[in-house]
Amino acid sequence: MEGIVKRFAGVTALDGVHFELRAGEVHALVGENGAGKSTLIRIMTGAYRRDAGEMFLEGAPVSFASPAAAQAAGIIAVHQEIHLLVHRTVAENIWLAREPRRWGLVDWPRMFRDTASLLLDLGIDIDPRATLGTLRTAQRQMVAIARGVSLGAKVLVLDEPTSSLAEREVALLYGLIRRLKQQGTAVVYISHRFDELFTICDRVTVLRDGRHVATRPIAGLERLDLVCLMLGKSREALAAGATAFTEHAERPADETPLLRASALRRGRKLQGVSIQVKRGEVVGLAGLLGSGRTETARAIFGADPPEQGDITIKGQPFEPRSPSAAIAAHIAFVTEDRKAEGIIPDMSVRDNLTLAALPALTRLGIVDRARQRQLVDEYMRRFGIKAASADQKIRELSGGNQQKVLLARWLCTRPELLIVDEPTRGIDIGARREIQTLIDELAAAGLGVLMISSDLEELVEGSSRVIVLRDGRDVAELGREALSQDAIVHAMASGSATAPAEGAPPA
Amino acid sequence: MTAASRPVPAFARALPGGPTVGAVVALVVLIAVNAIFTPNFATASNAWNILWQVSSVVLVAVGMTLVIATAGIDLSVGSVMAIAGAVVATHIGLGTPVALLLALIAGGAVGLVNGTLIARGAIQPIVVTLATLIAGRGLAQVLSNDGQLVSVRDATLEVLGRGRLGPVPIPVIVAAVVVIVAMIVLRATPFGRYVLAAGGNPEAARLAGVPVRRTVITVYALCALLAALAGVLEAARLGASDAAKIGLNIELDAIAATVVGGTALTGGRATILGTVVGALVMQVIATSFNMLFIPYAWSLVLKAAIIVVAVYFQRPKLV
């Protein structure tokens, strides 16, 4: 792709970007939100038309009028949200609209046979007759990739492929990607996680503000250099460490903890979790996917009330019947899934930001516009929320800015306990650092923070203590001095901070 | 960079007040064309007449707009009108205020049933309100001695249904007040914001502390209450309760007015003013066809075409 330009209503989203992809390579595409990654991908896969520039596939100039045309040429995108039919079988999904036929009817035996051999080829262990809805996310993703391969993919675009996968599933995905590589398929790999880039990718292209910054081989590239390229800053300007947390001073022990939850149970996911959070503390909550981290947060917040267990807030018993009850007890919860559980897409930034604070803003049954505007202005300035105006619809904002609006939504309610679930997932580095700094400041100002994260670096650098969950139980607590990525991984795997758990084999 | 930006056609763009450009243009064109070609169209008396005729649809459509804003639908409004009409006609002996109150309570009760089954029972709105549409019509006929016409002679009702304040028919005033109050409620009260939040993303709204269930129940109760008010006005205008006819098919007119005005059936977006414009578009077509002696059936065809065009421009964006 040479000199690609794309403008939206006068705003230049891509300005002369070039991008080169070789057969059989895994090429990372990185950049902050707004750098132009998605736009470039959309042009590559035919979803957008370019305004200028040229595109070549195997040396021949190409121009795709639609995603279907790009697919026919062998360029296939597997999106973050996987577009498949959940009620149909794996085989039907793979051959959708291309079902093998016999005398005009669907040739079911052949379809299942072909699927089985395709999956075998790719080393994917999934039953072709399984209904898609019964599969885990990772397996669905593999089905989507298999569909791409069956379409004759020369270029496969993976957009944040690991964002909802557990560690073990990531390894499976890597295996699949390596196999595709051997077969000569080129993979464009978009991810915010550095570990992944350095593990699986051969080269990396960095975009910034719609421009091409650099294309480098991954081997020999230092992480810090990559961060510098993405942010457009010099090495010296960056403090050591990729996260923005400052070292936590050990805080004087408050007599009564802000939150004390003991032996929370709910169904199979929560089997006895106990947690304490004091004022001014950031308590990290670590664990693999399915270990009960989000379930713990939802139980405390009353989104899925616990079936057993006690919670006290500032020493007073608290029953989390509903989110409103939790809000009344000054608990705030920034959810993991911004799109499904956070934003109201069609509402403005203003309405989204003040949604939880409306009762406090209401005078005589009418929302006090002046106070609302004041609050919105204050938070937009303080958090550096980039929006055309407070009236802009939130769905038009970047992920990082949406996350800031959601954080602001909760701070408006003047919480004492802030629960954040994967606060920086899928967010570009710049906004990520801002959000981490903010969490730090909030704790310093006396809030208790419970931070769920899959990012070990974030946990180690951001937390005063880390509690590790495994299979719905808290299995280890790591204080400041014992805290390291190694220690967390060890606890997640073996079930204790130092020694293997009694009886249970490591996952 | 999230949603694919298909250019929004000028027609479907929203004006500051909420109604879509297309609906306003359609209304202006219809009025202009009729003013030129239809004899006696551009007269004050005809204008008041049109407003009078549209007032019951507007009352019902305002409630429908709130319901649709929560991504719901209420098919039972016509039956609720019939119930309210029957109650007021059969209980007028208790005194006008009592009869009016009972009619509104009876109507609102149907709404509470709708809302509770939808919000607490998690049954689809179209199924619940289809059931109350059928049951409600039956109930209204039972109330009025097995579907007989119950005539009602009452001075207050007569004023409500046929009276005028100066040149302005009373039902038009009632509808105007309801429209203004609904606009304020939707724009400026927490409840109004909650309606849009519950329709836009119910799970996110719940986690933000929005009382989603209570909001949904309230919306169906309000919709039914407004339908009951329309039913009372209709009975007052006719001087009788006709349980088989009052409010028949009005749910379709109300949904059409809402959609044509720019409220999305997918929820989360609503415009009361747009709904009023939508209702007026439909009424102007009906009235002018009538004045031009074009068969009524043709006005149905034109209405249908307008609905399809409106929905076409609002269809969900494809990525």
The verdict on a CB contact (< 8 Å) between B189 and A33 is no
B200 φψ region: left (φ > 0), alpha (ψ -120 to 50), beta (else): alpha
What local confidence, expressed as pLDDT, does residue A505 receive? Answer: 43
The long-range contacts involving A367-376, CB below 8 angstroms and separated by at least 24 positions, are A367/B188, A367/B189, A367/B190, A367/B193, A369/B188, A375/A412, A376/A349, A376/A350
Q: Is the pLDDT of residue A237 over 60?
A: no
Q: Is the pLDDT of residue A191 over 50?
A: yes
Q: Which of B193, B204, B210 sits opposite A342 (nearest CB)?
A: B204
- A356 CB near a chain B CB, below 8 Å? yes
Averaged pLDDT, A366-388: 90
pLDDT higher for A225 or A307?
A307
Q: Give the strand pairing for A203-208 and A26-30.
A: parallel
Cite the DSSP H helix spans in A396-484.
399-411, 429-444, 456-462
The DSSP output letter for B122 is: -
Averaged pLDDT, A126-155: 87
Is residue A440 within 8 Å of residue A383, measured between CB atoms? Answer: no
Half-sphere exposure (Cβ direction) of B279: Cα atoms closer than 13 Å = 29
Choose from B201, B213, B266 for mutation: most chain A CBs within 10 A. B201
Question: What letter represents residue A486's amino acid?
Answer: D
Q: Edge-to-edge strand order for the sheet containing A473-478?
A: A331-334, A417-421, A448-452, A282-286, A465-470, A473-478
Name the strand (E) or helix (H) holding B183: helix B170-188
Question: What letter represents residue A157's amino acid?
Answer: V
ipTM associated with this complex:
0.81
Alpha-carbon dihedral angle through residues B267, A407, A451, A136, given to the nearest 10 degrees: 20
Is residue B198 within 8 Å of residue B53, measured between CB atoms? Answer: no
Averaged pLDDT, A395-413: 90
Q: What's the pLDDT tens digit per position in A267-290?
A: 777 888 999 999 989 999 988 766
Q: Is the pLDDT of residue A450 over 90?
A: yes
How many whole angstroms separate alpha carbon A329 and alpha carbon B198? 23
How many whole angstroms separate alpha carbon A413 and alpha carbon A206? 39
What local confidence, expressed as pLDDT, does residue A270 receive? Answer: 86
Averaged pLDDT, B297-302: 86
The verdict on a CB contact (< 8 Å) between B197 and A347 is yes
How many whole angstroms separate alpha carbon A170 and alpha carbon A174? 6
Averaged pLDDT, A4-21: 72
How many whole angstroms separate alpha carbon A496 and alpha carbon A493? 8
Place of tokens 């609102």: B108
How many whole angstroms separate alpha carbon B207 and alpha carbon B270? 22
What local confidence, expressed as pLDDT, does residue B119 receive? Answer: 94
Question: What letter represents residue A274's amino acid?
Answer: S
SS3 A449: strand
Averaged pLDDT, A27-56: 83
Averaged pLDDT, A337-343: 88
- CA distances from residue A324 to A293, A302, A336, B208 in whole angstroms, order as listed: 21, 8, 19, 8
What local confidence, expressed as pLDDT, does residue A172 receive? Answer: 82
Strand segments (E) across B190-274 = 240-241
Half-sphere exposure (Cβ direction) of A128: Cα atoms closer than 13 Å = 19
Q: Which of B1, B190, B194 sits opposite A39 (nearest CB)?
A: B1
- A42 CB near a chain B CB, below 8 Å? yes
Residue B113 Cα, gap to closest chain A Cα (Å): 23
pLDDT band at B319 (very low <50, low <70, confident <90, very high): very low
Q: Is the pLDDT of residue B24 over 60?
A: yes
- DSSP letters spanning A106-147: E-HHHHHHHHHHHHHHHT----TTSBGGGS-HHHHHHHHHHH
User: What are A266's two structure tokens?
Assistant: 């709910």
Q: Which of B3, B207, B268 sits opposite A303 (nearest CB)?
A: B207
pLDDT higher for B67 or B295?
B67
How many whole angstroms separate alpha carbon B37 and alpha carbon B287? 13
Is residue B150 within 8 Å of residue B132, measured between CB atoms? Answer: no
- DSSP letters spanning B64-75: HHHHHHTT---T
Maximum mean pLDDT: which of A147-151, A180-184, A192-196, B60-64? B60-64
Q: What's the pLDDT tens digit per position in B193-220?
A: 999 999 999 999 999 999 999 999 999 9
pLDDT band at A82 (very low <50, low <70, confident <90, very high): low
Is residue A406 within 8 Å of residue A338, measured between CB atoms? Answer: yes
The verdict on a CB contact (< 8 Å) between B189 and A362 is yes
pLDDT higher for B9 or B58?
B58
User: What are A41's two structure tokens?
Assistant: 């991908």
Averaged pLDDT, A26-35: 81
The long-range contacts involving A471-474, CB below 8 angstroms and separated by at least 24 positions, are A471/A271, A471/A290, A471/A291, A471/A292, A471/A504, A472/A268, A472/A269, A472/A270, A472/A271, A472/A272, A472/A273, A472/A291, A472/A292, A472/A295, A473/A271, A473/A272, A473/A273, A473/A292, A474/A272, A474/A273, A474/A274, A474/A275
Instruction: Please report the number of interchain residue pairs, chain A to chain B, with beta-carbon separation below 8 angstroms.
Output: 85
Q: Is the pLDDT of residue A140 over 90?
A: no
Averaged pLDDT, A322-348: 90
Question: How many CB atoms are closer than 10 A to CB B213?
Answer: 18
What local confidence, expressed as pLDDT, does residue B5 receive? Answer: 40
Closest CA to A292 of A469, A138, A505: A469
The verdict on a CB contact (< 8 Å) between A365 and B193 is no
The verdict on a CB contact (< 8 Å) between A341 and B207 is yes
Give the domains, in start order, of chain A with CATH numbers.
Answer: 2-237 (3.40.50.300), 246-330+415-507 (3.40.50.300)
Choose from A355, A411, A421 for mutation: most chain B CBs within 10 A. A355
Q: Which of A342, A367, A398 sits opposite B1 (nearest CB)?
A: A398
The verdict on a CB contact (< 8 Å) between A351 and B5 is no
Global pTM value: 0.74
The verdict on a CB contact (< 8 Å) between A355 and B205 is yes
Phi, psi for residue A267 in degrees, rounded to 5 = 55, -145
The verdict on a CB contact (< 8 Å) between B4 and A42 is yes
Q: Give the strand pairing for B164-165 and A211-217.
A: unpaired
User: What are A108's two structure tokens?
Assistant: 């079911």
Phi, psi for residue B23 in degrees, rounded to 5 = -65, -45
Helices (H) and strands (E) in chain B — how many of each? 13, 4
Q: Give the strand pairing for A155-159 and A75-78.
A: parallel
Q: Which of B189, B204, B319 sits opposite A341 (nearest CB)?
A: B204
Q: Is the pLDDT of residue B15 over 80?
A: no
Is residue A261 within 8 Å of residue A297, measured between CB atoms? Answer: no
What local confidence, expressed as pLDDT, does residue A3 receive? Answer: 56
Q: Is the pLDDT of residue A424 over 80?
A: yes
pLDDT band at A332 (very low <50, low <70, confident <90, very high): very high
Residue B74 CA, distance from chain mean position: 10
Q: Is the pLDDT of residue A78 over 50?
A: yes
Averaged pLDDT, A8-21: 75
User: What are A122's two structure tokens?
Assistant: 């790719």
Maximum mean pLDDT: which of A168-182, A192-206, A261-275, B189-203? B189-203
**Could you tell me what percent of chain B has a pLDDT over 90?**
63
The verdict on a CB contact (< 8 Å) between A13 and B193 is no
**Could you tell me what percent of chain B has a pLDDT over 70?**
92
Is residue B26 within 8 Å of residue B282, measured between CB atoms? Answer: no
The verdict on a CB contact (< 8 Å) between A346 and B269 is yes
How many whole angstroms separate alpha carbon A277 and alpha carbon A65? 55
Question: How many CB atoms are closer than 10 A to CB B149?
Answer: 14
The verdict on a CB contact (< 8 Å) between A344 and B200 is yes
Strand segments (E) across A410-499 = 417-421, 448-452, 465-470, 473-478
- CA distances from residue B161 to B181, B230, B318 in whole angstroms, order as listed: 21, 10, 47
Choose from A78, A81, A346 for mutation: most chain B CBs within 10 A. A346
Averaged pLDDT, B11-19: 60
Q: Which residues of A touch B3 (CB under 8 A)?
A: 395-396
Contacts of A303 (CB under 8 A, 6+ apart): A323, A333, B206, B207
Q: Is the pLDDT of residue A325 over 80?
A: yes
Q: How deeply is B92 buried, as exposed, middle or buried, from its count of CB atoms within 10 A (0-12, 13-18, 19+)?
A: buried
Is residue A450 within 8 Å of residue A285, measured between CB atoms? Answer: yes
How many whole angstroms separate alpha carbon B18 and alpha carbon A504? 61
Contacts of A498 (CB under 8 A, 6+ apart): none
Q: Is the pLDDT of residue A497 over 70?
A: no
Closest CA to B157 of B83, B213, B87, B238: B238
Rounded mean pLDDT of chain A? 84
